[in-house]
């Protein structure tokens, strides 16, 4: 019974920890455009709070002894009631855009820091308490860490599939508060079980004597750092560079937790497997796939990255489990392990975005994983590769590299910018290192990598790669000269510049001086948004225009001297690119006056006087990370208040993953706005487009909403708008409740959102 009570107490605490994390993410993510960096930064905060909790657990029980420390912990847990229900102050989120990391840390510390800190301390404390219980297995209480990670995993999976779709945010906070009270009771119950057995510990007379050897501590830090860094790197890589779907971040974190559950289980079978042999192939394959930008088929590529992450976590967490100390060093063990985790968070969340323009931390983490495994196994007689096996492995990888290079001869990577030859050398040295570790080989490998980074060209098709808190932006040069595609024997070369954020295109511009520039991508003259601008020119009906989402500034092309455009953009780097005529000239050549406003659009709109805009365009829903706070009934009431009497609200709803028009229909019905939908297909255009321009125009979907019947009739003169049908069972999205699962395209083709 004692074992069950302690397991349940630890399970509930960890469930609380991982229930609060996605809940906080749901509150904070929309205000930052839903970018992966918010989650990475939140993870860094949670790791820091976890470390603080572990340090408190170690020092308090060492200094006070069991009886006094357990009383102190109960009192502190009871004081946490004053912080319920959970609340995060978002009133000054408009200041976050300038220092988002600092703002997130400060707000999280003030709002949930105390509660998270106390609950984080429960797992190591209760494991230490259990070692005093007199149970047969009390000498090795680390199996309770499996219960801890099982609680974390259940909360992680249950939140998006159970709690978020069913419960409003206020109800989720209430549930969390109730579970917090249950946690206090469970801790009290655990302590009372020990009290009856009178197994309390006396305070250490010399706390420093119980500290583990510093070499062991450093090893625990390193073994905690590598899998945490790998988990964050894989999450960012998939969410940024591959066609990521919603909630894919759950899978890397689940793999991370599952590895803990397996290696710390009572049965040692999982931690005894020779993972390093399998790790070699996973790392090399992942680096090659990353180098050649292999994203398709995504159903194969994404699992490959997940599999490599699983191998990394199982190997390094297995090493951690095998190196676990006696109970006298239990709390120190978890402290140093947590230091490694927070080091991984700092490297991936703070250092990498500043130090690397691309996601180089992915390759660096994978190399560290493989090299460390080779180093640890260098004297292991069981880790021997025969000559035939070595030759076969090297041949397979070299053939794979050459085949991928032949498939994409124009590809030039940021890992080895000079081409496949460098990758061949790089892979050969890596394999040799993994087969038999030698310090000289490591120096040579480092030299090859650094040479590729600093002396290689960045590639003629990539003009700019820049990285900010909000993600990686690329300006690419798209060269089109395919004569056969247009049914000709010869065709001139044409050049376009394209802005992309991860896998989402944010605008295209033609860069041939002798030909006129027209709006491309989703914004062509015959698209629904082009029709809206044509309608707005009648009697100069659209003089003041607000646009949420700048991209490369394509919509500025429609500006006329009697108009003014306000562009709302959350990412300052996007503004720098759009304003630079070396890349895009839409803003420079705009005939209307215009202004770029940096920060969250919904917050900035609150400062705009009511009845300001004739046309308000919302172009922020195209990626897989939909900012749901711009798609709630409260947001639409704000939009409506900023429109003039005959104003029009235009929303770009092209999205590969989500069917958003039913959400808009439900909201507009609630607030009494008429709503129309326009599905664009460039094949049906009547205007004569140059073949190259037509090739750069994408299919799109736009929704128009208005209070004015004359405005709706005017729109239908220029486009075949259709009434938007209502979707049965569609919930009203509010700031308190919005579930993307309701509108997820489970069988969506990939071409819906380039």
Q: How far apart are CA 627 and CA 735, in angstroms?
A: 11
Is the distance from CB of 528 to CB of 716 less than 8 angstroms? no
If you average pLDDT over residues 555-583, what whole number do you get?
A: 93
The CATH class of 1-208 is: mainly alpha
Give the residue ranges of DSSP H helices in 242-382: 250-263, 275-291, 298-322, 330-346, 352-355, 360-376
The per-residue pLDDT for 37 is 60
Give me the phi and psi of 744, to 5 degrees please.
-70, 135
Report the pLDDT averaged over residues 117-132: 86
d(CA 183, CA 187): 6
What residue segments make up the domains of the chain, in order of their start?
Answer: 1-208, 211-380, 514-752
Cβ contact 315:355 at 8 Å = no
Architecture of the domain delimited by 514-752: 3-Layer(aba) Sandwich (3.40)
Asked if the domains 1-208 and 514-752 are classified in one and the same CATH topology, the answer is no
Q: What is the mean pLDDT of the chain?
A: 80
CB within 8 Å of 90: residues ≥ 6 apart: 27, 28, 31, 107
Given this model, what pLDDT does residue 556 score?
95
Give the pLDDT confidence score for residue 614 in this predicted structure: 94
Alpha helices in 377-509 (DSSP H): 387-407, 420-435, 439-455
Give the sheet arrangement for strand 613-618, strand by strand. 593-598, 564-569, 544-548, 613-618, 643-652, 700-706, 674-680, 722-723
Residue-wise DSSP of 169-185: HHHHHHHHHHHHHHHHH
Give all strands of the β-sheet with 504-510 in edge-to-edge order. 462-468, 471-480, 494-501, 504-510
SS3 82: helix
The pLDDT value recorded for residue 695 is 81
DSSP structural state of residue 616:
E
For 661-694, write each residue's pLDDT tens digit. Answer: 999 999 999 999 999 999 988 887 776 677 777 8
Return d(Cα 54, Cα 48) in angstroms, integer. Answer: 10
Q: What is the pTM of this model?
A: 0.73
Q: What CATH number is given for 211-380 in this structure?
A: 1.20.1250
Segment among 232-246, 300-314, 392-406, 479-493 with least mean pLDDT: 479-493
pLDDT band at 315 (very low <50, low <70, confident <90, very high): very high
How many other C-beta atoms are found inside a 10 Å radius of the C-beta of residue 170? Answer: 12
């Amino acid at each position: 019974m004692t074992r069950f009570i302690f397991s349940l107490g630890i399970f509930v605490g960890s469930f609380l920890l991982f229930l609060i994390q996605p809940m906080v993410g749901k509150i904070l993510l929309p205000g930052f455009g839903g970018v992966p960096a918010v989650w990475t930064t939140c993870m860094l905060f949670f790791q820091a709070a976890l470390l603080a909790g572990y340090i408190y657990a170690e020092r308090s029980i060492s200094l006070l002894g069991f009886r006094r420390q357990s009383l102190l912990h109960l009192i502190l847990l009871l004081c946490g009631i004053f912080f319920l229900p959970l609340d995060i102050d978002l009133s000054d989120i408009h200041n976050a855009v300038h220092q988002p990391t600092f703002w997130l840390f400060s707000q999280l510390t003030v709002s949930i820091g105390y509660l998270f800190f106390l609950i984080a301390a429960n797992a190591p404390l209760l494991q230490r308490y259990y070692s005093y219980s007199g149970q047969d297995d009390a000498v090795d209480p680390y199996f309770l860490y499996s219960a801890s990670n099982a609680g974390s995993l259940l909360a992680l999976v249950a939140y998006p599939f159970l709690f978020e779709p069913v419960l409003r945010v206020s109800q989720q906070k209430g549930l969390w508060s109730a579970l917090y009270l249950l946690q206090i009771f469970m801790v009290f119950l655990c302590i009372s079980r020990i009290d009856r057995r009178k197994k309390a510990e006396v305070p250490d007379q010399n706390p420093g004597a119980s500290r583990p050897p510093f070499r062991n501590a450093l090893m625990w830090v390193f073994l905690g750092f590598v899998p945490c860094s790998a988990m964050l790197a894989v999450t960012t890589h998939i969410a940024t560079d591959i066609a990521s779907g919603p909630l894919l971040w759950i899978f890397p974190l689940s793999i991370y937790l599952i590895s803990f559950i397996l290696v710390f289980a009572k049965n040692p079978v999982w931690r005894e497997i020779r993972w390093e042999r399998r790790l070699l192939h996973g790392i090399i394959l992942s680096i090659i796939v990353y180098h050649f930008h292999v994203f398709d088929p995504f159903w194969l590529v994404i699992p490959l990255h997940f599999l490599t992450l699983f191998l990394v976590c199982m190997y390094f967490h297995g090493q951690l489990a095998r190196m676990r100390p006696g109970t006298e060093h239990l709390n120190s063990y978890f402290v140093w392990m947590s230091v490694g985790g927070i080091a991984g968070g700092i490297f991936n969340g703070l250092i990498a975005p500043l130090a690397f323009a691309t996601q180089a931390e992915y390759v660096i983490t994978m190399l560290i994983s493989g090299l460390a495994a080779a180093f640890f196994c260098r004297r292991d007689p069981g880790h021997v590769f025969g000559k035939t096996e070595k030759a076969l492995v090297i041949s397979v990888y070299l053939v794979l590299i050459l085949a991928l290079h032949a498939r994409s001869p124009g590809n030039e990577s940021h890992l080895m910018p000079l081409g496949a030859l460098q990758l061949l050398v790089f892979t050969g040295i890596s394999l040799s290192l993994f087969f038999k570790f030698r310090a000289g080989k490591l120096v040579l490998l480092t030299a090859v990598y650094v040479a590729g980074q600093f002396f290689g060209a960045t590639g003629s098709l990539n003009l700019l790669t820049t990285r900010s808190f909000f993600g990686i932006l690329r300006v690419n040069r798209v060269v089109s000269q395919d004569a056969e595609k247009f049914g000709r024997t010869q065709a001139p070369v044409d050049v376009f510049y394209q802005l992309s954020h991860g896998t989402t295109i944010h605008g295209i511009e033609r860069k041939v001086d002798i030909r006129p520039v027209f709006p491309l991508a989703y914004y062509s003259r015959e698209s629904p948004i082009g029709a809206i601008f044509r309608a707005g020119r009648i009697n100069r009906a659209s003089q003041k225009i607000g646009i949420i989402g700048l991209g490369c500034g394509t919509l500025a092309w429609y500006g006329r001297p009697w108009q003014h455009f306000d562009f709302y953009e959350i990412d300052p780097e996007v503004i720098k690119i759009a304003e630079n005529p070396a890349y895009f000239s839409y803003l420079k050549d705009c005939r209307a006056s215009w202004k770029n406003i940096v920060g969250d659009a919904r917050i900035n709109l609150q400062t705009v006087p009511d009845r300001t805009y004739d046309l308000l365009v919302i172009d922020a829903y195209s990626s897989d990370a939909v900012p749901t706070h711009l798609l709630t009934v409260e947001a639409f009431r704000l939009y409506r208040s900023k429109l003039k009497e005959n104003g029009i609200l235009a929303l770009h709803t092209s999205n590969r993953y989500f069917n958003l028009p039913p959400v808009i229909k439900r909201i507009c019905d609630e607030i009494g706005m008429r709503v129309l939908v326009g599905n664009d297909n460039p094949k049906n255009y009547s205007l004569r487009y140059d073949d190259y321009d037509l090739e750069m125009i994408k299919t799109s979907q736009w929704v128009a909403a208005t209070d004015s019947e004359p405005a709706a009739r005017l729109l239908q003169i220029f486009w075949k708008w259709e009434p938007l049908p209502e979707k049965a069972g569609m919930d009203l999205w509010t700031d308190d409740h919005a579930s993307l699962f309701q509108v997820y395209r489970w069988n969506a083709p990939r071409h819906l959102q380039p």
